Amino acid sequence: MNLTTIIHPELSVTSFSHTENALYRLSVWLDCERELLGRVITNLELRQALGALAALDQLHIEPDATDQDLIDFF
């Protein structure tokens, strides 16, 4: 797996803690990998896998989720 460091031009270390910065970068990387995987699955016409990937998309929790959102999610 190739890990690419993604730097967001608007992201400054002073506005986020190191942990938040790392989580943000991980999130961006995962989004890119998911998009690439979706394109590969589509090109190979693997409909069942595409359905599973779409189901995984439903597991996303927004950063501003409330406690009630988390309870509803689980």
Quick: pLDDT tens for 60-69: 778 788 888 8
Burial code (b: 16+ CB inside 10 Å, e: under 16) for 44-71 equals eeeeeeeeeeeeeeeeeeeeeeeeeeee
pLDDT at 13 exceeding the cut of 60: no
What pLDDT was estimated at residue 66? 86
Mean pLDDT of all residues in 7-33: 75
> What average pLDDT does the chain have?
80
Mean pLDDT of all residues in 33-48: 92
For residue 74, the 8-state DSSP code is -
